[in-house]
Amino acid sequence: MSDPLAATNCQTDAMQSLEKVLQNVRFGAIIGPKYEQMLDKNANIIQTQPQESDYSLILVASCAKQTVKKVLDLAVDRKSDPKFMSLLNNAFVGGKSGTKHTDRASAVANDDKEEWRGFAVRQTVSVADDGGPQEARIISQHLYRSINNQKPSVWFIFSGRVPNISDRMPSLMTNQAFRVSIEESARILTLLGVDLMAYLSQTPTDRQKETTEAMVTRYRIVTFAYQMAFVDALSALGITPDGYIGMSMGELGCAHLDGVANRDQCFRLLMATGLPTGLPEGRKYLSALIDCPWSELGALLAPTTLISPYGHCNQNQSMVIGEEGAVKALVADMNATPGAPTGRTLAPGAHLMHTEGAFVPDFYDTVVKRLAKAVPELVGRGRGPSHRWLLTAAMSPGVVSPEYSAGAKDFSLVQYFGRVLVSHMYVKEAVDRLPANALVIDVGSGGRFRDFALIGRPQARYFDIQGIDLNINSVSAYGLDGLLREMGYLFTTGVLPLTL
């Protein structure tokens, strides 16, 4: 049984700690799922919204790093006490703060100021009998020294892999912009004979009844709808990218943002992609990430024809794909050899794309015919990618990072997407062309793809990326937690709050 006196003392201590530390806080907010309404257009002040989900985003700004850290630490330390979060909420709701009683939002907007900003994404994981949270955890916590007149450019990165999407949808659907986008995709797909909402509500038992091709097609459709809704949720906040990078199916997200294809055309391309045919019956395939530079990958794989290069992630890491037994043996051998590159298996690779036809030599010709039939209007050559779209596929084997003049009339999306499916994924080469000040927002793939792509890069400074498994921000977050985390990064780098 809880002690009422102890609880009262706890609340008093929390309030006293808050009052002291908030003297130096210039801005603070606790944001729930209705963050699309968080900007007060009359006062330009972020308003706290009622908590209607298990997730919340805590934002703090101050001239002192220790102040920001203290407020976030208080939120973490008192994470099991709902009354403390209420106290923090009430403190942030007030329009005035600080020893000089300056308006927090106005202070943050001063371009001459250098300040520390921090965020924490908090999740309640269970509820006690009295309705209060019994336990909570911090999914992400990050501090960054922001200089307001040195805001970064904003870039989106799309992955072709987003696991467990359907399980994460309920929390995201609490956001109006996300929900409206999903409904728009559902309307388009209905005309194509697909029930998106049925896909989103499938149970594990339902999925076990699917054929491999039906499962892959469903996965691709849901992933694209999810990513477009993620983009639309950010757009509702006024966040639009200066550029974008896609990997594998993620290239269609770039094509859509670049105006090369509309949403209906992207869905039709995904539905027509299919799988390579003619593979040996019952054989399983696997992909793996290994610590091996791309330039040395050929020599590493030379002893076998059962494994192919797959993707160039960064300076020291590459992806491979091949027969399950061969990939597992390669990874085990690398991990057992002192001083050798290390590796880890990633996921089943039933599609066997991105191998330049190593396993299915005629796949490009076959898939281009299917794509052309599905979207005949995109067969002919038309406007090419703008400078905002950094391509990751080679237009022909060995021709990496082709450059197109913005608006050039020699680009066929059907042919390029066919090459996307066959070509190795040259992510590093695309990231090489990112501006040094690019804030890379991970569109719904949990953050891991971005971490691998930015290791050792100047853009990694916005995320504390120093290695593969290094900190709490490397924990994958695919639902509302992931969206709130990306908002946190936009805040800590000075992109949010917006000037209306």
Any domain includes 165: yes
Largest interatomic CA distance in the chain: 76
* Claim to verify: residue 261 and residue 407 sit in the same structural domain: yes
Q: What is the predicted pLDDT for the residue at 134?
A: 52
Residue where a domain stops, chosen among 133, 149, 165: 149
Provide the CB-side half-sphere exposure for 202 (13 A, CA).
Answer: 20
Mean pLDDT of the chain: 78
Judge whether 414 and 368 are in contact, CB under 8 Å. yes
Confidence of residue 380 (pLDDT cuts 50, 70, 90): confident
- Pairwise CA distance, residues 11 & 5, whole Å: 10
| Percent of all residues in the chain with a pLDDT value above 70, rounded to a whole number | 72
Packing angle of the helix pair 263-273, 413-422 (nearest 10 deg): 40
CA-nearest of 119, 83, 118, 120 to 2 is 83
Q: How do beta strands 425-426 and 307-312 pair?
A: parallel
Burial degree of 482 (CB within 10 A; 0-12, 13-18, 19+): buried
Q: What is the predicted pLDDT for the residue at 418?
A: 92
Q: What is the predicted pLDDT for the residue at 435?
A: 94
* Claim to verify: residue 132 and residue 15 sit in the same structural domain: yes
Any domain includes 498: no
Q: How far apart are the first and last CA of the chain?
A: 50
Q: What is the predicted pLDDT for the residue at 479?
A: 82
Q: What is the pTM of this model?
A: 0.85
Any domain includes 196: yes
The residues pairing with 323 across neighbouring beta strands, listed in sequence order, are: 285
Packing angle of the helix pair 165-172, 480-492 (nearest 10 deg): 70
- Mean pLDDT score, 186-196: 95
Confidence of residue 257 (pLDDT cuts 50, 70, 90): very high
- Pairwise CA distance, residues 413 & 405, whole Å: 15
* Claim to verify: residue 290 and residue 430 sit in the same structural domain: no
- Mean pLDDT score, 117-143: 70
Q: What is the predicted pLDDT for the residue at 234?
A: 93
282-340 confidence digits (pLDDT tens): 788 888 888 889 999 999 998 888 999 999 988 888 999 999 899 999 888 888 877 66
The residues pairing with 343 across neighbouring beta strands, listed in sequence order, are: 290
Q: What is the predicted pLDDT for the residue at 423?
A: 92
Length reported for the chain:
500
Judge whether 15 and 87 are in contact, CB under 8 Å. yes
* Claim to verify: residue 377 and residue 335 sit in the same structural domain: no
Structure tokens given for 360:
């299915």
* Claim to verify: residue 311 and residue 429 sit in the same structural domain: no
Judge whether 444 and 162 are in contact, CB under 8 Å. yes
Residue where a domain stops, chosen among 104, 133, 149: 149
440-453 confidence digits (pLDDT tens): 999 977 777 888 88
Any domain includes 8: yes
Lowest-confidence region among 47-61, 90-104, 201-215, 390-404: 90-104
* Claim to verify: residue 400 and residue 464 sit in the same structural domain: yes
* Claim to verify: residue 225 and residue 96 sit in the same structural domain: no
Q: What is the predicted pLDDT for the residue at 176?
A: 87
425-480 confidence digits (pLDDT tens): 999 999 999 999 999 999 977 777 888 888 888 998 898 775 544 344 456 677 88
**Three-class SS state of 304:** coil
Beta strands in 224-335 (DSSP E): 243-246, 285-290, 307-312, 318-323
Packing angle of the helix pair 263-273, 212-235 (nearest 10 deg): 160
* Claim to verify: residue 378 and residue 239 sit in the same structural domain: yes
- CATH number of the domain bearing residue 250: 3.40.366.10
* Claim to verify: residue 41 and residue 116 sit in the same structural domain: yes
Provide the CB-side half-sphere exposure for 370 (13 A, CA).
Answer: 18
Q: What is the predicted pLDDT for the residue at 430?
A: 92
- Is the pLDDT at 500 greater than 50? The verdict is no
* Claim to verify: residue 101 and residue 51 sit in the same structural domain: yes
Confidence of residue 60 (pLDDT cuts 50, 70, 90): confident
* Claim to verify: residue 173 and residue 119 sit in the same structural domain: no
Any domain includes 497: no
Provide the CB-side half-sphere exposure for 104 (13 A, CA).
Answer: 25
For residue 81, give the DSSP letter.
Answer: -
Any domain includes 499: no
Residue where a domain stops, chosen among 149, 171, 193: 149
146-177 confidence digits (pLDDT tens): 766 678 999 999 988 776 677 778 788 888 89
Judge whether 182 and 229 are in contact, CB under 8 Å. yes
- CATH number of the domain bearing residue 333: 3.30.70.250
Bigger pLDDT: 188 or 39? 188
Confidence of residue 8 (pLDDT cuts 50, 70, 90): low
Judge whether 273 and 371 are in contact, CB under 8 Å. yes
* Claim to verify: residue 326 and residue 232 sit in the same structural domain: no
- Mean pLDDT score, 131-136: 56
Q: Compute CA distances 450 → 76, 242, 297, 313, whole Å.
A: 26, 17, 22, 10
State the amino acid at position 234 in one-letter form.
Answer: L
Q: What is the predicted pLDDT for the residue at 127?
A: 54
- Is the pLDDT at 2 greater than 70? The verdict is no
CA-nearest of 23, 193, 35, 32 to 97 is 23
- Pairwise CA distance, residues 37 & 40, whole Å: 8
Any domain includes 353: no
Structure tokens given for 268:
């039709």
CA-nearest of 383, 392, 374, 310 to 343 is 310
- Is the pLDDT at 359 greater than 70? The verdict is yes
Any domain includes 223: yes
- Mean pLDDT score, 251-266: 95
State the amino acid at position 398 in one-letter form.
Answer: G
> What is the domain range of residue 329?
285-348
- Is the pLDDT at 345 greater than 70? The verdict is no
Judge whether 39 and 500 are in contact, CB under 8 Å. yes
Beta strands in 128-184 (DSSP E): 133-147, 153-158
201-253 confidence digits (pLDDT tens): 887 777 778 877 888 888 899 999 999 999 999 999 889 999 999 999 999 99
The residues pairing with 345 across neighbouring beta strands, listed in sequence order, are: 288
| Percent of all residues in the chain with a pLDDT value above 90, rounded to a whole number | 29
User: Total domain count for the chain?
Assistant: 3
Q: Could you tell me the strand order of the sheet in which 243-246 lies?
A: 389-390, 243-246, 153-158, 438-442
